[in-house]
Amino acid sequence: MNQRLQKIWHNNSLTIIMLALFLIFLVGQSITGFEQYNEEQTEHQQHVITYGEYLGSAHFVEAVFENWESEFLQMSMYVLLTVFLVQRGSAESREPGAGTTPLRVKRNSPRLSKIKGFGRILYENSLFLALFALFIMSFFLHAAGGAANACEEAMQHHAQCYSTLEYIGTSQFWFESFQNWQSEFLAVASLVVLSIFLRQKDSPESKAVTDPNSKTG
C-alpha cells in the first residue's frame, strides 16, 4: 500500500499540490468572505448567517465563479490562439512557419485518437472545447450569483431586482468580468515574452538555460 501511494505521488505530484493549494485558498476565501459578509450585514442591521449558509450564498457563488470565469477564458483562448499565432523566441510558442503537426497513430495512442469523422474532430479539439465549456459554465454561474446578490441588496433598499440575463447587461457584471480578464491576458503575455529572455532551470515552461534567445518552443 505504501509503495502504491508513493507511486501515485511520484506520478501525480504536480496535480496533487495544485489541487491542495486550490482547496487551501478556496477555504481561505470562504472564511474571509464569510466574515466580511457578516460584518456588512451587522453594519446594515441585517441578520447574520452561519458558515454553512454562506457557502450556498449568492455572495460566495459570485465571488468564486467570477474568478473561475477569467481563468478558463484565458486558458481556452491561449490553447486556441497558439494553434495559429507565434512569438519567435518564446518557450510558449511553436516555431514560426511550422506547419500542422502530422498525425501518426501508434499502438498505444488513445482510443479516441483512432476514430474517424466528426468524433475525431471533436477529440482533436477537445482540450479547447472542455476549457471553453468550463468558461461558459463559470460565466453564467457568475451572472446567476451576481444577480442573486444584487437582488438581496436591492431588497434592503426597496429597489428592483435583476434576473440573471438582465444582470449580464449591467455595467457591474462587465466591470467584474473585465477587471479579471485584463489581468489574465497580461499574465499570459508576460509569460510568453519573458520566456524569450529568462530561464527557470528544469521547468518545462522554460527553454534550457543554455538555449539562445532566438530558440522557439
**pLDDT tens-digit series, residues 48-87:** 999 999 999 999 999 999 999 999 999 999 999 999 999 9
Backbone CA torsion sign across 111, 114, 120, 123: positive
Q: How far apart are CA 124 and CA 80, in angstroms?
A: 12
The answer for residues whose C-beta is within 8 angstroms of residue 118's C-beta and 6 or more apart is none
pLDDT of residue 51: 96
For residues 145 and 61, the answer to whether their CB atoms sit within 8 Å is yes
Mean pLDDT of the chain: 91
DSSP state of 30: H
**pLDDT tens-digit series, residues 138-184:** 999 999 999 999 888 777 766 778 899 999 999 999 999 999 999 99
Q: How far apart are CA 62 and CA 146, in angstroms?
A: 5
pLDDT of residue 217: 85
**What is the helix (H) or strand (E) element at residue 43, kind and residue range?**
helix 2-43
Residue 98 clears pLDDT 90, i.e. is over it: no
Backbone angles phi, psi at 135, to 5 degrees: -65, -50
